[in-house]
Structure 1
């Protein structure tokens, strides 16, 4: 992946994306100039690897178009997709503050992307100059830690049926449709839910027979939301 210097149009596009992002909105104009120091743009094709776990983390990214997935390999060599990033989302900004200065995951292009590439040192310098940005970044990272704690608790205290129901309802909320598309393979989904692929297939088949859901592979329709909600209720928190 080759970083190209931003032209005037690209610089304005990146600034527009940043000012609409909760972390970077409503800051002084000088902040954006500082943040965009040594910034660039890069283009990559589906399947390209952006970086690997353990690579030196010297830059972070904003998705201009397309999609990128973050994943790790299990001990058995299976992939587990942790997140998918699309337009306007930040990638690897938390890694810019890790003392070991290495990426903790692998990043691969899911759909052809335009990526804005921002510099680690420029982010550090901007945080020193504008403490309000540092506070917002810290708040966002704290919420991510909180979500991960809840996720670990849910994975260790719930059944496979409960996890799958909660996953389907999250997709329904995100995609705003009872017809949902699973963005990963069933093998990756099983790893994400902490269950065996055979168990996932068995539950899907059982739910189809009972007409809780309908579909195949990645496309499913949620027919009985009341049943799914009854299973996933324990995952809901008041704050």
Structure 2
């Protein structure tokens, strides 16, 4: 679907308003970028790219959800990230001398995704120092978050990982009851946390049994008191996996 289509161009411009990677760009720069962008539909299970493919594009999710993953030599899947509406991915390839995707990407559900040409973006980036700083700050923050995840996945037990994940879904200032909707299937979340799906479900049940959360059915979870959930993160837990 070409961005030159009026409705598509308007949708992309609206989505770009909240994106760090165009922060500081002029209206003229953004307009030139939009002209080269496309909105691509993907069915659930459809692959966007494979690890090692030439990376000439990065992406912005308009609707749906995408799984970023790697396969081991034995074919085991490790989910590296779950990307939802309003989030971008693939920017890490922007500054590689020979850009290749370090992961594979697959739509977990029906999705609409904006494809942004790397070469065209870099051509605009060189004229905006503010945008360069915004991109560098964001990528640095992602590296720091990945280091935290490495610590969690290597030094923490499965209960800690599940509780920490739930806390990440809660809006920062919330202290009263919060109703959460898991953004994707429990199996996909478990894969992201490097635990088995049954371990994830069992840990949720354990948290519900002691009143820390309420399982409302489907993907909906209520957290009556976020402070109790934060306390559960600090308490020593038995390995659940």
Category of TM-score, reference length = shorter chain: 0.7 to 0.9
Distance 1:185 1:19 in 2: 29
Question: Which residue does 1:78 correspond to in 2?
Answer: 77
Question: Which residue does 1:220 correspond to in 2?
Answer: 221
Q: Report how far residue 134 of structure 1 moved.
A: 1.9
| 172 and 126 in structure 1: CA distance in 2 versus 1, 3 angstrom threshold | same
Contact 2:38 2:116 in 1 (8 A): yes
Moved more, 126-135 or 5-14: 5-14
Question: Which residue does 1:17 correspond to in 2?
Answer: 15
Question: Which residue does 2:238 correspond to in 1?
Answer: none
Moved more, 109-118 or 67-76: 67-76
- Give the superposed CA RMSD: 2.9
* Structure 1: gaps spanning 5 or more residues: 235-239
**TM-score for the superposition, normalised by structure 1:** 0.79
Q: Report how far residue 217 of structure 1 moved.
A: 5.8
Contact 2:24 2:128 in 1 (8 A): no
Deviations 1:141-190 (A, max 9, x none): 1111111112212333323222221112222338x763323334333333
Contact 1:4 1:41 in 2 (8 A): yes
Contact 2:69 2:77 in 1 (8 A): no
Question: Which residue does 1:160 correspond to in 2?
Answer: 158
| 224 and 132 in structure 1: CA distance in 2 versus 1, 3 angstrom threshold | closer
Contact 1:41 1:117 in 2 (8 A): yes
Deviations 1:166-222 (A, max 9, x none): 112222338x76332333433333332233445434433433333333326633333
Distance 2:64 2:202 in 1: 33
Question: Which residue does 2:187 correspond to in 1?
Answer: 187
SS at match of 1:129: coil
Distance 2:201 2:60 in 1: 36
Question: Which residue does 2:6 correspond to in 1?
Answer: 8
1:31 maps onto 2:29 in alignment: yes
Equivalences, count: 230
| 205 and 27 in structure 1: CA distance in 2 versus 1, 3 angstrom threshold | closer
| 163 and 116 in structure 1: CA distance in 2 versus 1, 3 angstrom threshold | closer
